[in-house]
Amino acid sequence: MAEGILRHKVSTHHLDWDVDSAGTGSWHIGQPPDHRAQAAMRVHGLDISGLRARQFSKSDFDRFDLILTMDNENYRDVIQLAGFPDHKNKVKPILDYAFPGQHRGVPDPYFNDRFQEVYNLLDASCEELIKSFV
C-alpha cells in the first residue's frame, strides 16, 4: 500500500523518485497485493493490482537513498543487513514522518482487516515525507 500511495504522491508533485517496495520475508514473492489492500486503495482511486512482491536485498542499500520500514521488526531486519554505517542511516520507520519521535509501527492489517486505518496512516506519512523534501 505504501508503494502505491507514495508513487501517486511522487507523480502528483512531479518528482523524479524511484519508488519500490520489498518485504523482509520471502513468502509472498511474485504475488500481487492482498485483495483487501487493493480494495482499500481503489476507494481512493489508486490501482496497485500490477505490483508484485519481492524480498528486500542488500543491493537495495546501493539502489535507494531512503529505505522506509513498516514496523520495529522490519526495521531490525533491514538494519541487520546493512553493511556500512551510511546504509543504516538510510533506514527510517515510515510513521516517523507523520508521528516524529513516537517510533510507531504500522499495524498489520491482514489479520484484523484494518486496511483503511493503514491507508490513512501511510497516506499521512507519505504526505509528510514529500513535504520534507519539497
pTM over 0.75: yes
The cell numbers describing 15, all together, are 518528482
- Give residue 108's domain range: 2-133
CATH of residue 125? 3.40.50.2300
- Report helix, strand or coil for 69: strand
22-66 pLDDT tens trace: 999 988 999 999 999 999 999 999 999 999 999 999 999 999 999
Task: Convert the pLDDT of each residue in 123-133 to its tens digit.
Answer: 999 999 999 98
- The 8-class DSSP code of residue 14 comes to T
In this prediction, residues 85-94 reach a mean pLDDT of 97
Give 103's pLDDT tier (boundaries 50, 70, 90): confident
Count of the separate structural domains present in the chain: 1
Of 49, 38, 45, 61, which Cα lies nearest the Cα of 9?
Answer: 45
Three-state secondary structure string covering 83-115: CCHHHHCCEEEHHHCCCCCCCCCCCCCCCCCCH
pLDDT, residue 27, reads 87
